[in-house]
């Protein structure tokens, strides 16, 4: 017996009736996270900061159109069980400027790069960065190895 992994089709925007709101058919994606653009990490220290951010709960990192984003997964405290806004009349300006005309309703959230765990970002760093230099403890003598020639 095979199991279908297909999702049911979403309600098409074009079929909305006059005065009907697309939010009625949505899961409230826009109210379940926020993402902040950031500089692309270029050093081990910067990757280590990203790893640290990701150790603080539901945080992921994605790259879209070559821009890196820190995504914090956190439901708005005013999101109602029906995925509508509980403070619609007094919502913040950023929410007022967000429009269902170009919202992410149909967006399947496919990114150029997407990291869900600190281990993933660290593994990526290891793949794109030069090897890390080992640090010596303060006051420890430098380890020097003799040059071996003519061995073997």
Tokens of 41: 């990490």
Residue-wise pLDDT for 72-115, tens only, equals 999 999 999 988 899 999 999 999 998 887 788 877 778 899 99
Q: Tell me, what's the pLDDT at 139?
A: 66
Q: Report the predicted TM-score, pTM, of the whole model to 2 decimal places.
A: 0.74
Q: Which residues of the chain have pLDDT under 50?
A: 146, 148, 151-152
pLDDT for the residue numbered 25: 84
pLDDT value at residue 152: 47
Give the tokens for residue 103. Answer: 């919202």
> Order of strands across the sheet with 67-73?
33-38, 67-73, 59-64, 113-115
Tokens coding 66: 């070559």
- The span from the CA of 5 to the CA of 144, in Å, is 58
What's the burial of 27, exposed, middle or buried (CB within 10 Å: 0-12/13-18/19+)? exposed
In this prediction, residue 78 carries a pLDDT of: 96
């Amino acid at each position: 017996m095979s199991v279908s992994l297909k999702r049911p089709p979403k309600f098409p925007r074009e079929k909305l009736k006059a005065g009907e709101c697309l939010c009625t058919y949505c899961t409230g994606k826009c109210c379940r996270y926020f993402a902040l653009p950031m500089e692309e990490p270029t050093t081990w220290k910067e990757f280590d900061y990203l790893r640290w951010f990701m150790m603080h709960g539901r945080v992921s990192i994605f790259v879209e159109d070559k821009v890196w984003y820190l995504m914090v997964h956190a439901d708005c405290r005013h999101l109602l069980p029906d995925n509508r806004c509980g403070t619609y009349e007094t919502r913040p300006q950023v929410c007022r400027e967000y429009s269902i005309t170009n919202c992410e309703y149909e967006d399947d959230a496919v990114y150029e790069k997407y990291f869900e765990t600190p281990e993933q970002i660290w593994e990526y760093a290891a793949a794109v960065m030069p090897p890390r230099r080992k640090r010596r403890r303060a006051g420890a003598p430098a380890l020097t190895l003799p040059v071996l020639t003519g061995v073997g």
